[in-house]
Amino acid sequence: MVKVAISGILGRMGKTIAKLAYEDSNIEIVAGIESPDCAHTHDTVGEILNVDLDAPIVSDLSKVIDITDVVIEFSNSTEAALSHLRLLAADKNKKGMVIGTTGFNDEELKEIKELSKDIPVVLAPNMSIGVNLLFKLVEEAAKALKDKGYDIEVIEMHHRFKKDAPSGTAVKLVDILKKETGIENVVYGRNGEYPNGRPSDEIAVFALRGGDVVGDHTVIFAGLGERIELTHKAGSRDIFARGAIEAAKWIKDKPAGLYDMMDVLNLK
């Protein structure tokens, strides 16, 4: 049995994870964590799910750290996620953390790497099986098409409420593409004059926002006379939530270190 505290419990992902975790006989939800600034609409996770579950909703992780094995972090705040990680890393019991929050800057990522020397951390901008397979397929395609005259464009679309752009998944796709192709120049959108047309040594990223789109990602490799498009479309947040729950089970009792969903899903 893995005892989890879910951070961002009142959010879209927090509620989805709580619903699926409650149905999982190997998981016990011991607490929900919300922002100290949020309107305190629920006292327990049971009230959110409309079930008999007395797990308290708190705004201070230190109040529930002793009863928690793993924190599942899906707040929309990178500062909140980092402050939770700092607390866990400093705790003598070395609990694990699964981080789904996106939008970390380079300095924050450096700190996550440093703190994960003390506790096991799964950090993944996308916890679905499909997207993690997409990462592999994109790596293969980029390897095969490197220096063969294919322009690379990345397009993502998400719901109108999303706070960060481009998505964490698109950032990871770009990291893979940069590594495999050696291209360093990344542009975000286009506007203006291009007298010499599209430079071959760039990767372009387009972040679309609108409506209730759960999350779409496409990588285009466009050559002269043909085009390959690798696309993943999420139809439900359950795919991310299931991944987060699997990661929480996987990370319990793992040695300290920084892991990703490729480790959890054995896709490496």
Ligand X SMILES: O=C(O)C1=N[C@H](C(=O)O)C[C@H](O)C1
- H or E stretch including 121? strand 120-123
**Helix 129-145 vs helix 168-181: crossing angle, to nearest 10:** 30
The correct pick among 7, 68, 102, 116 for binding ligand X (CB under 6 A) is 102
Choose among ligand NDP, ligand X, none what residue 11 binds, the Cβ cut-off being 5 to 8 Å by kind.
ligand NDP
Peptide bond into 36 cis (omega under 30): no
Closer CB to ligand X, residue 183 or residue 241? Answer: 241
Site membership for ligand X, residue 125 (CB under 6 A): yes
Q: What phi and psi, each to the nearest 5 degrees, are found at residue 127?
A: -105, 10
Q: Does 132 bind ligand NDP (CB under 6 A)?
A: no
Nearest to ligand NDP of 116, 221 (CB atom): 116
Among 29, 158, 183, 248, binds ligand X (CB under 6 A): 158
∠ CA 19-254-33, nearest 5°, is: 35
Angle at 39 between CA 38 and CA 41, to 5 degrees: 120
Q: Does the protein bind ligand X through residue 162 (CB under 6 A)? A: yes
**Interface segment toward ligand NDP; rule CB under 6 A; list 62-70, 96-104, 132-140, 192-200:** 96-104
13 is in an annotated binding site: yes
Given the residues 15, 162, 217, 232, select the one marked as catalytic: 162
124 is known to lie in a ligand binding site? yes
Q: Which residue in the list 158, 172, 217, 232 is annotated as catalytic? A: 158
When binding is defined by CB under 6 A, the residue of 126, 155, 204, 247 that contacts ligand X is: 126
Q: Is 232 one of the catalytic residues?
A: no
**Quick one: how far is CA 115 from the chain centroid?**
18
For residue 268, indicate whether it is catalytic.
Answer: no
With contact defined as beta carbons under 8 Å apart, do 81 and 73 qualify? yes
From the list 205, 168, 174, the residue with the least C-alpha distance to 188 is: 205
Report whether 186 contacts 178 (CB < 8 A): yes
> Could you say which of ligand X, ligand NDP, none residue 38 binds, taking C-beta under 5 to 8 angstroms by partner kind?
ligand NDP
Contacts to ligand X by CB under 6 A = 102, 125-126, 158, 162, 167-169, 215
Residues labelled catalytic: 158, 162
